Structure 1
Amino acid sequence: MVSGKSSTTSLVKAPPGFALRLVQGKKCGTPSNLFDEFAQALAFPDYFGHNWDALEECLADFEWLPAKGYILLITDAHAVLPDDEDEYETLLEVLSDAGEAWSKGQTADGRRAPFHAVFVVAEQDKSKRKRWELEEVSFEEQKTSRTRPARKRSSKPSRK
């Protein structure tokens, strides 16, 4: 629980050599706003396409942000895409895929590095979201389908 007296950034201290970036959840109410906030917080290159595929690509290629590891601190997480659970789940999948790519060395530069997304939410705001994590897939479902079902992601820019 975060009290009003403590700042969110004071809760996390990045290890030496790690990049800690703050993403303001209150600025991520729509996909378009979320893409803008991630681009600003992570200093994405000008070619960032403002869509889910481009977000996933940039999260797995931090050549402009060299570090031993990466921590994204997402504040006011209850305010991230609050009106669209499908888009929120897509965000979780993109972050999960980026973490997997970094852990397996499947990033643009082929190196392995820790990648963490930390969602910060006040105790009184936890109930504002039905689910906070990806839906689990049962072992039986995994046996019958070797790959995760593809999410429909718009490759078009989400600018309005």
Structure 2
Amino acid sequence: MNHDAFELGLDDINNAGVYSVGNQDIGPLSAAMRDAGLRVTTIDLHGCNDKRTLLARIAAQLDFPQSFGGNWDALSDSLRDLSWLQANGYALFFSDADGLREGAEKDFDTFLDVLADASDAWTEQNVPFWAFVALHE
């Protein structure tokens, strides 16, 4: 499957944002994002059912600075910066997010809000920032 099947319109930065996908969609979407010249990172959330684990996994995969504060504000700040990961744009894939959604619904919703805010901030700088959260449903 190519990105056209997802009808994302990769050529329009205003389409960047947060999307729910299935785990099986990560491979084809990752390829499309790489083809579009974006930095692609996949963060495995299997077994992640709390905020602390979520933040630790994101920080590790995105190589956050040691000064990362481990809270929502720090996550927001870090996702809006990413100066240590120079790129023309970003595509983050969060696989197996069902455990987080089921185990910490409020944190899951906050996480989605942080991703959306980061995408909006990058769009204002004319840099695409896509986040794909893979769920079974």
Normalised by the length of structure 1, the TM-score is: 0.65
Does the alignment pair 1:28 with 2:45? Answer: no
Where does structure 1 differ by over 3 angstroms across 4 or more consecutive aligned residues? 7-11
Partner of 1:65, secondary structure, is coil
The residue number in structure 1 matching 2:73 is 53
SS in 1 for 2:46: helix
1:115 alignment partner in structure 2? 129
Given the superposition, is the C-alpha separation of residues 60 and 29 from structure 1 closer, same or farther in structure 2, using an over 3 Å criterion? same
Percent sequence identity is 32
Contact 2:55 2:70 in 1 (8 A): yes
Residue 83 in structure 1 maps to residue 99 in structure 2? no
Q: CA deviation at 1:28?
A: 2.8
Tell me the distance in 2 between the aligned counterparts of 1:21 and 1:2: 14
Residue of structure 2 equivalent to 1:137: none
**Does the CA-based 8 Å contact 2:49-2:104 persist in structure 1?**
no
Structure 2: which 5+ residue stretches go unaligned? 1-21
1:88 alignment partner, SS class = helix
Q: RMSD across aligned C-alpha pairs, in angstroms?
A: 1.9
Native 8 Å contact 2:48 2:100 kept in 1: yes
TM-score (norm. length: structure 2): 0.75
If asked which structure has higher relative contact order (CA below 8 Å, sep 6+), I would say 2
In 1, Cα distance between equivalents of 2:70 and 2:52: 7
Q: Is the 8 A contact 2:51 2:107 kept in 1?
A: yes
- Whole-angstrom CA distance in 2 between matches of 1:117 and 1:104: 16
- How far off its partner does 1:83 sit? 1.8
CA-to-partner distance for each residue in 1:8-45, whole Å, 9 max, x for gaps? 43552123531100111215311000011000111111
- Measure the CA separation in 1 of the matches of 2:26 and 2:78: 25
CA contact (8 A) 1:28 1:81 kept: no
Count matched residues: 114
Q: Quick check: which one's helix share is greater?
A: 2
Structure 2 letter corresponding to 1:118: F
Structure of greater Rg: 1
- Any conservation in 1 of the 2:93–2:134 contact (CA below 8 Å)? yes
Unpaired runs of at least 5, structure 1: 106-111, 127-160
